[in-house]
Amino acid sequence: MYIFAIESSCDETSASLIRAYDKKIEVLSNIVSSQVPIHALYGGVVPEIASRAHCEAITNVSRTAISSSGVSMSDIDAVAVTFAPGLIGSLLVGLSFAKSLAFSLGVPLIPVNHIEAHVSAAYIEHEELEPPYLALVVSGGHTSIYNVTDYVTFEEIGCSRDDACGEAFDKVGRVMGLPYPGGAAMDRLASIGYSSQNSKTKSNIFFPSPAVHDDTLDFSFSGLKTAVINYIHNEKQKIKSEVLPNDIQAEIAAAFTSSVCDGICKKLSMAIKKNNPKTIVMAGGVAANSHLRKSVSELCAKNGVNFTVPSISLCGDNAAMTAAYAYHMYNLGLFADSSLNAFASDESAEIFMEQLKNTHKIVH
């Protein structure tokens, strides 16, 4: 079967066409139009500008995704769309477009939760992956651990109590003067910091852990973020300059990254003890971080747990992951009608999905 999907929850307009059968998901096209250059001028996403940019991009992105897939519109079996969580104006653009397309093609409309879609990106390259497993989602808006009991059931067993991990990377990056969003640049800078630590002496910079000091699986990134930002300001004052030398920046990036990796591994290690999973899946934009990939992979190897993480191109927002999640919704007959609304929060998304699953049980 062929699924066409749209993702527009934040600052990427994306459309994808997949062919799916049995456990196989073939990505025929996955077009991503990023608004990063626009929002970089403001140092963060401006919601109103994001909605307008989605309006401008969505027709061309969709047209390109369909034409480059080699599939004709009349062969599309379902249209999927991210309906939550995210920026409400951005979500509504994708939702309205997807509704019209599903209606005009006369095919089912599939509502997709963005966070669960991030995790489903892993099915694209890992046919062998199947629930149950534990999933860690690390993105610009989320840092959560889920117990995934079936393809569409995610129970949150830990989360950040304040900032998301990606948010901390971006804010620290901004104070360091790195281009927005700072995550990828921080990754490269930390590599420089680690290699100079290996060749010289060990770093003596230590930042607080984002692992909450209790027996929950929760995180807190705001203390870490503030500690790093204060450290940077102090260093600048010491040398009476607005710009820190490159080697100091790299050392700070490495110390921050170590704190993030250690904190995440601490809570994952507790989750392994509590839940005894066979597999851990890591997903979301920050899952592209090379140091975090290495740390979580080593933790899993040490504990005899399989580790699955999508390729870097499938970690950030893209519609192929939306389509992958939708394939499992399709198999369960979980469709929306044209009254489908967009929701900004996780809670509203969850309530909607519960209702959809309950209605489905009644109908069948």
Single-letter amino acid, residue 192? I
Secondary structure class of 74 (helix, strand, coil): helix
| Pick 29 or 82: Cβ nearer Zn ion | 82
Burial class (CB in 10 A: 0-12, 13-18, 19+), 131: middle
For helices 88-105 and 47-69, the axis angle rounded to 10 degrees is: 30
170 binds Zn ion (CB under 5 A): no
| Pick 112 or 224: Cβ nearer Zn ion | 112
316 binds ligand KG4 (CB under 6 A): yes
H/E segment holding residue 12? strand 12-21
85 binds ligand KG4 (CB under 6 A): no
- Which neighbouring-strand residues pair with 135? 146, 281
Give the Cβ contact number of residue 166 at 10 Å.
23
Among 83, 169, 256, 352, contact with ligand KG4 (rule: CB under 6 A): 169
Query: Of these partners, Zn ion, ligand KG4, none, which one is at the site of residue 289 (CB under 5 to 8 Å by kind)?
Result: ligand KG4
167 binds Zn ion (CB under 5 A): no
Of residues 121-150, which lie at the interface with ligand KG4 (CB under 6 A)?
139-141
317 binds Zn ion (CB under 5 A): yes
| Pick 167 or 317: Cβ nearer Zn ion | 317
CA–CA gap between residue 176 and residue 235 (Å, rounded): 11
Query: Of these partners, ligand KG4, Zn ion, none, which one is at the site of residue 210 (CB under 5 to 8 Å by kind)?
Result: none
Among 133, 317, 321, 324, contact with ligand KG4 (rule: CB under 6 A): 317
Single-letter amino acid, residue 235? E
| Pick 50 or 244: Cβ nearer Zn ion | 50
Among 111, 181, 193, 263, contact with ligand KG4 (rule: CB under 6 A): 181
Single-letter amino acid, residue 58? I
| Pick 35 or 139: Cβ nearer Zn ion | 139
Q: Are 148 and 154 in contact (CB under 8 A)?
A: yes
163 binds ligand KG4 (CB under 6 A): no
139 binds Zn ion (CB under 5 A): yes
Among 108, 158, 210, 284, contact with ligand KG4 (rule: CB under 6 A): 284
Point out which span in 89-97, 136-144, 212-220, 294-302 binds Zn ion (CB under 5 A). 136-144
| Pick 38 or 105: Cβ nearer ligand KG4 | 38
Single-letter amino acid, residue 34? S
| Pick 277 or 310: Cβ nearer ligand KG4 | 310
According to DSSP H, which parts of the chain are helical?
Answer: 36-40, 47-69, 88-105, 114-125, 165-175, 183-199, 222-239, 246-275, 290-303, 319-331, 346-363
Among 289, 295, 308, 322, contact with ligand KG4 (rule: CB under 6 A): 289
Which tokens is 74 given?
């009349």
Shortest Cβ 285–Zn ion spacing (Å): 6
Q: Are 245 and 277 in contact (CB under 8 A)?
A: no
Rounded to whole angstroms, what are the CA distances from 266 to 57, 172, 217, 294? 41, 22, 9, 14
288 binds ligand KG4 (CB under 6 A): yes
- Residue 85: closest CA among 114, 50, 61, 62: 114
Point out which span in 16-24, 183-191, 334-342, 356-364 binds ligand KG4 (CB under 6 A). 183-191
Residues of this chain that bind Zn ion (CB under 5 A): 139, 317
* Contacting positions for ligand KG4 (CB under 6 A): 10, 139-141, 166, 169-170, 181-184, 186-187, 284-286, 288-289, 316-317
